[in-house]
Amino acid sequence: MIEMRGITKVYTTGKVAVEALRGIDLVIQKNEFISIMGPSGSGKSTLMNLIGCLDTPTEGDYYLEGMKVADLDPNRLAEIRNKKIGFVFQNFNLLPYATAFENVEVPLIFKGESFKNRKRVGEELLERVGLKDRMDHRPTELSGGEMQRVSIARALACDPSIILADEPTGNLDSVAGREIIDIFVDLWNQGHTIAVITHDTEISSRTQRIVKLRDGKVVDGAGSI
Amino acid sequence: MKSFLIFRIFFRDLKKQRKKITLTTLAIAWGTFSIVMLLAFGEGLKNQMSKAHHGLGKGIVIMWGGQTTIPYQGLGKGRRIRFNEEDVEILKKRIPEIKNVGGEYSRWGVSMTYGKKTLTERVNGLYPCYEEMRTHYPDMGGRFVNDLDLKYRRRVVFLGNNLKQRLMGDVEAVGKIILINNIPFTVIGVMTEKLQMGMYGGPDEDKASIPATTFKAIWGHNYFNVLVYQVKDPDQADMVEKKVYEALGSKHKFDPEDERALSIWDAVNQEKEFNKGIVGITIFLGVIGGMTLLIAGVGVANIMYAAVKQRTREIGIKMALGAKKRDIMSQFILESLIIAFFGGGVGIVFTTMIVKILQAIPVEQEGLQFLGKPTISWDIMIVTIVVLGLVGLFSGFFPSRRAATVNPVESLRYE
């Protein structure tokens, strides 16, 4: 499903080159629920950006559902992000001027769905995360937990191959955080593949496998290659 | 729904940068105003000039007799060529493309008396076709010289409007008797006021016209001073001119290639040339207006650049959700098009109002009369809309290109 081999990522700022990832090998199977952990500066976010096709590796091969994505052009990558990746961010990253429904609708617009389909899918997903009666509210009118549920609904909009969550409970109180974790577990039980980057052991304890990163390398839980 | 969202974003930004967007919209409106206004003045000038040209006559050519410069059929050069009624008949018969043709006797320094006032003026002996051909249209209540006047050599006179005013003042002229060379003439009509640019022997408004036969009987002229013809189709003017040379050449025995045998004033081609000049002026005016609009376009581009910076995070979010380059770009281009066309609409409405007001103000002064009234034509509207579209497109394009190069990884971290 996801297979990374010898991935390195070097950031060059002026004359200084920083090696964020130094040879990552990682496999994520279909319908797996994994967490990626590691101290700050270990390359978690860089790895997530690469898996999410927001960025391309300096070296190495990355296969997403058997497709080599390392050297695709930006428009193709956008298409892959649209159809195969669902992002859930720590700070939600919802469009502030749009309602909950409109936020869920955005990826469907880019996919080119008709309004009828967008309405059906959007309503269905918001119902699934328990926000059916909040569809017409804007992010400022929602609590943190509700905002994160909107962004989960948005991540599910195009029925992605994998959901990538970056510290999804980082900005939430413990009650809301637990609700979000429950949603992820439900999604996993429904057959979704989920990768969560987290510091929170409460999440990682409920995942199948913990991938540990240190200094740009996977030190534990790389999966069977 | 997608476009609906774009409008939502646009109006949200409108609230945030109300002052900036209002100023830019005003700049676009002002630019549109100047381009439409200048083009409208160009259009007015063109219409007025065309009217002024037609004051002399529409599609006419004026001929004077000349001197031969090429020996022909045993005859030497330097012979004088002059016209009389026979030439008119020949042209009528031989050249079907000619609509009207007529000769003109003319005499300067003729005394004219009405009551106690005497003036020294020009008198022309004319044919009825001059009414249409040389636009000698009578004012209400009057008429021009007709065939019966010609046949009976009536002593009737048609006065130029300015001459009438100077000689008779505000008196109703038709039916009154004036003395020309101490011979009584009845006034049959006064010319309608017209704008006349081209002229020979003075403007028509200062001339007195009497029947050609009457003229000949009084002064005994044998030859016309001028021969005038009007073509049916202005595009055939060159061909007709050649035919005229051939026809008159065979009668007067001069080489049709001898251009000096006749002296020709081709008002048809002159007008065509002149119109090219007017088109040049209109383009020049349009370019000036376009420049103003261009500056306004720079203002729009400036706003859009600011918007790109402000929305970096939003662009990043959209990219993460699968927006392609063109999705990002089209939003900014659409927004600048909205500003351009909204401002343009305001400008067009404003200009239309000003033009309506200007058209309602009567103009007496002669210089302004030649300038004419600004007129908005469909051509102007189309040009303006195309220019506005281009300005909107370009002022959105470059900022949108910057937006499309936003790095999603960095912009998602951007606060």
> What is the full DSSP assignment across A19-30?
EEEEEEEEEE-T
- Say yes or no for a CB contact (<8 Å) between B325 and A75: yes
3-state helix, strand, coil in chain A (%, to 5): 35, 30, 35
Quote the DSSP letter at residue B122.
E
CB-CB neighbors (< 8 A) of A154 in chain B? 321
Q: Residue range B246-258: average pLDDT?
A: 86
Distance from CA of B327 to the nearest CA of A (A): 8
Query: Which range marks the domain in which residue A130 is found?
Result: 2-220
Does residue A43 lie within any of the structural domains?
yes
- Say yes or no for a CB contact (<8 Å) between A102 and B325: no
Domain count, chain A: 1
Q: Measured in Å, how far apart are chain B's first and last C-alpha atoms?
A: 27
DSSP string, B354-404: HHHHHHHS---SHHHHHH------HHHHHHHHHHHHHHHHHHHHHHHHHHH
- Say yes or no for a CB contact (<8 Å) between B324 and A110: yes
Q: What is the pLDDT of residue A13?
A: 81
Separation between Cα atoms, residue A85 and residue A192, nearest integer Å: 11
Does residue A46 lie within any of the structural domains?
yes
**For residues B45 and B371, is the Cβ–Cβ distance under 8 A?**
yes
pLDDT in tens, B165-215: 999 999 999 999 999 999 999 999 999 988 888 888 889 999 999 999 999
Q: Which residue of A lies nearest to B409 if distances are taken between CA atoms? A: A54
Q: How confident is the model at residue B1 (pLDDT cuts 50, 70, 90)?
A: very low
Is the CB of residue A79 less than 8 Å away from at least one CB of chain B? Answer: yes
With CA atoms as reference, report the closest residue to B407 among B320, B322, B330, B333. B320
Quote the DSSP letter at residue A149.
H
- Say yes or no for a CB contact (<8 Å) between A78 and B317: no
Does residue A206 lie within any of the structural domains?
yes
CB-CB neighbors (< 8 A) of B317 in chain A? 93-95
Which CATH number goes with the domain that contains A56?
A: 3.40.50.300
Separation between Cα atoms, residue B105 and residue B99, nearest integer Å: 20
Strand B183-190 to B177-180 pairing: antiparallel
Does residue A105 lie within any of the structural domains?
yes
With CA atoms as reference, report the closest residue to A207 among A184, A225, A176, A174. A184
Q: Residue range B223-243: average pLDDT?
A: 89
**For residues B27 and B341, is the Cβ–Cβ distance under 8 A?**
no
Separation between Cα atoms, residue B349 and residue B363, nearest integer Å: 24
Distance from CA of A32 to the nearest CA of B (A): 22
B176, with CB counted inside 10 A (0-12, 13-18, 19+), is middle
Nearest Cβ partner for B321 among A49, A110, A115 = A110
Is the CB of residue A54 less than 8 Å away from at least one CB of chain B? Answer: yes
Separation between Cα atoms, residue B276 and residue B351, nearest integer Å: 26
Strand A193-197 to B117-126 pairing: unpaired
Is the CB of residue A97 less than 8 Å away from at least one CB of chain B? Answer: yes
pLDDT tens, N- to C-terminus, chain A (225 residues): 899 999 999 988 888 888 889 999 999 999 999 999 998 888 888 999 999 999 889 999 999 988 898 778 888 999 999 999 999 999 999 988 889 999 999 999 888 888 899 999 999 999 999 999 999 999 999 999 999 999 999 999 999 999 999 999 988 999 999 999 999 999 999 999 999 999 888 889 999 999 999 988 998 887 765
- Say yes or no for a CB contact (<8 Å) between A87 and B321: yes
Q: Residue range B305-322: average pLDDT?
A: 89
Q: Which residue of B lies nearest to A53 if distances are taken between CA atoms? A: B320
Is the CB of residue A106 less than 8 Å away from at least one CB of chain B? Answer: yes
**For residues B56 and B372, is the Cβ–Cβ distance under 8 A?**
no
- Say yes or no for a CB contact (<8 Å) between A102 and B9: no
CB-CB neighbors (< 8 A) of B325 in chain A? 74-75, 78
Q: How confident is the model at residue B415 (pLDDT cuts 50, 70, 90)?
A: low
Is the CB of residue A138 less than 8 Å away from at least one CB of chain B? Answer: no
Is the CB of residue A62 less than 8 Å away from at least one CB of chain B? Answer: no
Is the CB of residue A83 less than 8 Å away from at least one CB of chain B? Answer: yes
Is the CB of residue A169 less than 8 Å away from at least one CB of chain B? Answer: no
Q: What is the pLDDT of residue A199?
A: 87
Separation between Cα atoms, residue B207 and residue B185, nearest integer Å: 15
Q: What is the pLDDT of residue A224?
A: 66
Q: What are phi and psi of B34, to 5 degrees?
A: -70, -40
Whether B16 shows a pLDDT value over 80: the answer reads no
Dihedral of the alpha carbons of B184, B189, B194, B198, in degrees to the nearest 10: -50
- Say yes or no for a CB contact (<8 Å) between B321 and A79: no
Q: How confident is the model at residue B2 (pLDDT cuts 50, 70, 90)?
A: low
Does residue A225 lie within any of the structural domains?
no
Q: Which residue of B lies nearest to A80 if distances are taken between CA atoms? A: B322
Nearest Cβ partner for B12 among A52, A97, A109 = A97
Distance from CA of B12 to the nearest CA of A (A): 7
- Say yes or no for a CB contact (<8 Å) between A54 and B408: yes
Q: Quick count: other Cβ atoms within 10 Å of Cβ B378?
A: 7
- Say yes or no for a CB contact (<8 Å) between A110 and B314: no
For chains A and B, count residue pairs whose Cβ atoms are closer than 8 Å.
65
pLDDT in tens, B121-133: 999 999 999 999 9
Is the CB of residue A114 less than 8 Å away from at least one CB of chain B? Answer: no
Q: What is the pLDDT of residue B3?
A: 53
Is the CB of residue A135 less than 8 Å away from at least one CB of chain B? Answer: no
What tokens appear for B91 in the block? 């042209």
Quote the DSSP letter at residue A132.
G
Name the A residues in 141-160 with CB < 8 Å from any B CB.
154, 158
ipTM of the prediction: 0.91
- Say yes or no for a CB contact (<8 Å) between B409 and A74: no
Whether B102 shows a pLDDT value over 50: the answer reads yes
Where is average pLDDT lowest: A27-36, B8-17, B244-253?
B8-17
Q: Residue range B301-317: average pLDDT?
A: 89
Distance from CA of B401 to the nearest CA of A (A): 14
**For residues B295 and B26, is the Cβ–Cβ distance under 8 A?**
no
Is the CB of residue A82 less than 8 Å away from at least one CB of chain B? Answer: yes
